[in-house]
Amino acid sequence: MKIRVKINGVTREDDVEPRLLLVHYLRELAGLTGTHIGCETSICGACTVLMNGAAVKSCTVLAVQADGSEITTIEGLSGRNGQLHPLQQGFWEEHGLQCGYCTPGMILAAHQLLSRNPHPSRAEIRKALEGNLCRCTGYQHIVKAVEWAAEKVRAQAEHA
């Protein structure tokens, strides 16, 4: 079946089998392996991407369900010259990762949070990341990383 998807600003057209999962489409056809496959049961959130700005678990979305949509993966967050997104910087600065497996999903779930709520409390950050599991950090540094990014985005907005 023919689908048309805009991934990180670039429109693609592909002929896909209806049973192809969005995560496999992104990794194998689009070659964007930053989106990770974790539990494959829509629990862990490692496969989280943005579909029309909303966080979704791409291991439980069919590629055909994404037809006509805009997808943002972790590769789409950084600037053209490789400039890290404030969330990516925050995870760097605050040690928001150890093994890094959950990180792309964490960052995209956090991205949706900041787009809806630029000044989240710690409790709101934890709630927004409820669908994303990390088995290394104990989450403390992840929460700090998101706070760092929120502060950075706020400071950038003030200077703009």
Partner 1 sequence: MQAFEYASPRSLQEAIRLLPAQWGPTDVLAGGTDLVSAMKDGISTPQRLVNIKQIAELHRMTFSPRAGLHIGATVTLRELLDDGAVQQHYPGLIQAAEAARSEQLLNMGTVGGELLQRPRCWYYRNGYGLLALRDGKSLVPEGENQYHAILGNAGPAYFVSPSFLAPILIALGATVQLHGPRGARSLPVQKLFVTPTRVGQREHDLAPNEILTEIRVPYRPGVRTAVYEIREKEALDWPLAMAAVALRQEGGVLRDPRVVLGQVAPVPWPSPEAERTLTGKKPSEDLADAAGRAAVAQATPLSKNGYKVQLARIAVKRAILSAVQQGG
Based on its alpha-carbon atoms, the radius of gyration of the chain, rounded to whole angstroms, reads: 15
For residue 150, the Cα-to-chain-centroid distance in whole angstroms is: 16
Choosing from 42, 78, 89, 98, the residue that interacts with partner 1 (CB under 8 A) is: 42
Tell me the C-alpha distance between 120 and 122, whole Å.
7
DSSP reduced 3-state for 102: coil
Rounded to a whole number of angstroms, the minimum distance from the CB of residue 83 to partner 1 is: 27
Is residue 33 near partner 1 by the rule CB under 8 A? Answer: no
Tell me the C-alpha distance between 31 and 27, whole Å.
5
Rounded to a whole number of angstroms, the minimum distance from the CB of residue 129 to partner 1 is: 8
Is residue 55 near partner 1 by the rule CB under 8 A? Answer: yes
Tell me the C-alpha distance between 109 and 85, whole Å.
14
**For residues 22 and 145, which CB has a smaller minimum distance to partner 1 in the complex?**
22
3-state DSSP percent of the chain in helix, strand and coil, to 5: 40, 15, 40
Is residue 56 near partner 1 by the rule CB under 8 A? Answer: yes
Residues facing 68 on adjacent strands: none
For residue 105, the Cα-to-chain-centroid distance in whole angstroms is: 4
Q: Which residue has the tokens 């029309």?
A: 52
Rounded to a whole number of angstroms, the minimum distance from the CB of residue 73 to partner 1 is: 15
- String marking each residue 111-140 x if it binds partner 1 according to CB under 8 A: -xx-------------xx-xxx--------
Binding residues with partner 1: total (CB under 8 A): 30
Return the range that interacts with partner 1 (CB under 8 A); candidates 4-12, 52-60, 93-101, 145-153.
Answer: 52-60
Binding residues for partner 1, rule: CB under 8 A, are: 1, 17-19, 21, 40-43, 45, 48, 51, 54-57, 60-62, 64-65, 67, 109, 112-113, 127-128, 130-132
